[in-house]
Structure 1
């Protein structure tokens, strides 16, 4: 099913691993990238979770998310230092040994100069038994896929290169479409009308997003769904409702 589109919904979660994210020392940008990418290719990102470098919490999160969603994308914790424990934890979650993978070793040997593959760097060649490697075009050290869990680096440039590889291998679903109607009034003015339209279109998602500029409130009304005809009908209904509210106030 490599890279194919299926007639249905494909779900995913992101698991960000690292004390540095939770402490604020490092600002995460991977969640936003993955969310935008998934929307563009037809994967519904349903959850994003951040956990510290604590084995029990990583294992519990991996097992909980992989049971709930079609795919789990993890970032962080596969580097050469002692506190990079993601590979260990994912192996434990799947109940398989973590082995020095000859494929990963070969990639690292080709990347570093002779004698440059030291003990610390060899940690990056430890892969759970049965996993598929995720190629790393930036710095050679691979990620891996085991089951429906895709383990990638935390460094954004490297993660993005790995994510390109992963999404080329997995099936995607029908793309989520959206329409936006701008309302030059605050949320409270259109809340009742929007709720009534939502009741008429239970298969769609209608959301309101308030803004303020130059002391004036306005609202963007966003309609999301997979059926273009239904979106068109809902958009027309929302636009008519907004026009009626604005007209009544003038």
Structure 2
């Protein structure tokens, strides 16, 4: 549904830093992503000379006819940059903040491996896990106090069940290592205190 793709692409690219799509850039009639993204950016969808030459050479080398259907994989919006495809040659493309990649999982992964290093990132979120042999009912109050004492962290509680008993994984997250470690120490001390009391 071209109109739906255009509307979604325009809404998402205005709202988010990056948009990633998979599939719809192959050789068949229902592969309409390149046309739709071109329409979203108000540019023409046309054969990209470099993509065309790469595909033409690849098919010639393998003794396979470069059919009109196969040529479709060289089409992309005017002004788009290639996303290299080390698996099957046919490139994906990037236009603005929209990244268009193959739908075949192994090819998508290979393309994504080329895209990820180009993305701007913020400060990394760090995390540390503290094993707690108790269920959430016992740790809820003390854990809330620790969270209040460390507002620059996020403390998550993840209950587990196995062998007839409950336990909890407590995960501390922060962007600053010192803040992470201070909260982790308080969580570990809480667990140690509860263990000593039981």
Q: Answer yes or no: same fold by TM over 0.5.
A: yes
Q: 1:189 and 1:85, CA in 2 relative to 1: closer, same or farther beyond 3 A? A: farther
Unmatched tracts of structure 1, length 5 or more: 1-53
**4+ residue stretches of structure 1 with deviation over 4 A?**
none
3-state SS of 1:158 partner: helix
TM-fit CA distance, 1:197: 2.2
SS in 1 for 2:118: coil
How many angstroms apart in 2 are the aligned matches of 1:89 and 1:198? Answer: 47
Q: Are 2:166 and 1:217 aligned?
A: yes
Return the match for 2:106 from 143, 153, 157: 157
1:103-182 paired onto structure 2 within 5 Å: 103-113=50-60, 116-182=65-131
Q: CA deviation at 1:137?
A: 0.8
TM-score with structure 1 setting the length: 0.72
Distance in 1, Cα, partners of 2:167 & 2:58:
54
Choose between structure 1 and 2: higher helix proportion: 2
CA–CA distance in 2 between the matches of 1:171 and 1:94?
Answer: 22
Cross-structure match for 2:45: 98
TM-score, normalised to structure 2's length?
A: 0.89
User: How far does residue 98 in structure 1 lie from its aligned partner after superposition?
Assistant: 1.1
Alignment RMSD: 1.9
Which of the pair has more CA radius of gyration? 2
Instruction: Indicate how the Cα distance of structure 1 residues 82 and 189 shifts in structure 2: closer, same or farther if over 3 A, else same.
Output: farther
Q: CA deviation at 1:115?
A: 5.7
Alpha-carbon distance, 1:65 to partner: 2.6
d(CA) in 2 for partners of 1:197 and 1:57?
47
Q: Tell me, which stretches of 5 or more residues in structure 2 are unaligned?
A: none
Distance 1:161 1:246, change over 3 A: same
